[in-house]
Amino acid sequence: MGPAALSRIDEPFDVVSRQTVSLPGAEGTEGLIRLEAACLLATLKSRKGVAARRDAAPAEMPEAQTLMTLPGLGAVTCATFLSEVGDISRFDSAAKPAAYAGLAPRAGQSGKAVHSVTKPRGGNRRLKRVLVLSASKSILFCDESRAYYDRKRAEGRGYNSAVTALARRRLNVMYAMLRDGKPYEKNNG
């Protein structure tokens, strides 16, 4: 609700107060509407306060500042990623957080025989969702992501498969950024 809408909240009550016809229970209904409007305004104010604190939180974390340089990664996505992954140094390689997120393929094997490689059904769903959403947004903002996505589509993959592959690739980049403490640099070659 914008400032123009907030300034117009009292208009219906002004119109009602100028009415000459009075209906039974109109005063009670008007009071309930005013009470509901006050609750909505309080909720809006509270949500704006939460959003301000949410947007200020990444400024306090060096990891978030590093990750926010990656195109398609916003404050909410970054905060969710960091809260789900925790300390990146607990993972030996980029393959470990990919498996944790459910982005790494799973091999069905018995002994030395590999039967099939399938899509994992487990993993941290919240982390996987954040990575896939970030990847789908990055297609719009980042030329490298768009080129990788287009290459996967040209290989015959569907939209979801191509975006998931891009999410895995971006997770590798995010892992390297956090491991090295360096911001994103566009690959010019």
In the chain, where do the E strands start and end? 106-110, 113-118
Tell me what pLDDT residue 83 has. Answer: 87
Give yes or no: residues 70 and 151 share one domain. Answer: yes
The domain in which residue 35 lies consists of 3-16+23-57
Task: Tell me the average pLDDT across 74-98.
Answer: 88
Q: Is residue 189 part of a domain?
A: no
Please give the model's pTM, rounded to 2 decimal places: 0.68
Q: Is residue 185 part of a domain?
A: no
CA distance 150 to 147: 5
Compute how many other C-beta atoms are within 10 angstroms of the C-beta atom of residue 161. 14
Q: Are 179 and 97 in contact (CB under 8 A)?
A: no
Q: Is residue 68 part of a domain?
A: yes
Q: pLDDT-based confidence at 111, cuts 50/70/90?
A: low
Give yes or no: residues 83 and 129 share one domain. Answer: yes
Give yes or no: residues 91 and 151 share one domain. Answer: yes
Q: Is residue 114 part of a domain?
A: yes
State pLDDT tens for residues 128-152: 999 999 999 999 988 999 999 999 9
Give yes or no: residues 50 and 76 share one domain. Answer: no
Give yes or no: residues 76 and 97 share one domain. Answer: yes
Give yes or no: residues 158 and 67 share one domain. Answer: yes
Mean pLDDT, the chain, as a whole number? 83
Tell me what pLDDT residue 189 has. Answer: 39
pLDDT exceeds cutoff 80 at 115: no
| pLDDT > 70 fraction of the chain, expressed in percent and rounded | 81
Give yes or no: residues 39 and 98 share one domain. Answer: no
